Amino acid sequence: MAGKIVTVAQQKGGAGKTTLAANLAVALSKKGKKVALLDTDPQGSLGRWFMMRREAGDPGMEFSTASAWGVSYECDKLRSTADFVLIDTPPKIDSDLKPAIRESDLVIVPVSASPVDVWATEGVLDMAEREGAATLIVLNRAKAGTKVTQEVDKALKALGGKRAKTTLGHRVAFPESMGVGKAALERGKGAWSDEIEALTKEVLKHLKN
């Protein structure tokens, strides 16, 4: 059975795409799944994170890169051996993103607690709808109880896209672990691990439907 393709996409930079892709990859790997990463962002942040893992030992997953025209080829190759392929994309919505969206079983859209991020989300949802790809919006880097988080949450519901029940908090564990080639789950137990575990379960549930 071919592996599932999960693309992490957001028009605005700084929404946490790379961090989310890396953390989901580690979480799935810890569940005994064969995982592959595909970095299509010219900035190459996911690739640098992967190389840090590789230098420290077995990274626990496969890795590849591709430009827009090579995405379909790489997806075909990776899904033949992996249970899940996670694609990190550049912060823009144009023809370069279409191949990844088109290949996806699920498009995860991280949204930081900012009205600007909400505005940027509409473009991703529109493209995914045109390409027939399922989407899951994830509120990321949120500070519980703040007015801006509540307002963003309300605005996301108004967009009409499917929203993850899990919210990822604004936690130091995420950037600190990324900086050493790790994921938040590899820092031990805490609110960060509970959130990633919960989100991973949601993602798996969506991919079964």
Q: State residue 36's pLDDT score.
A: 98
pLDDT tens digits, residue range 145-170? 778 778 877 888 787 788 899 999 98
Q: State residue 49's pLDDT score.
A: 97
Contacting residues for 152 by C-beta, under 8 A, at least 6 apart: 111, 113, 114, 115, 117, 118, 139, 142
Domain range for residue 185? 4-208
Local structure of 66: helix, strand or coil: coil
Q: State residue 22's pLDDT score.
A: 97
Cβ(4)–Cβ(106) under 8 Å? yes
Which tokens go with 93?
Answer: 């919505």
List of the chain residues with pLDDT < 70: 1, 209
CATH number at residue 186: 3.40.50.300
Q: State residue 67's pLDDT score.
A: 87
Q: State residue 143's pLDDT score.
A: 77
Pairing of strands 35-39, 135-140: unpaired
Neighbours of 175 (CB within 10 A): 13
Which tokens go with 65?
Answer: 């890169």
Q: State residue 33's pLDDT score.
A: 96
Cβ(93)–Cβ(68) under 8 Å? no
Record the pTM: 0.93
What's the total number of domains in the chain? 1
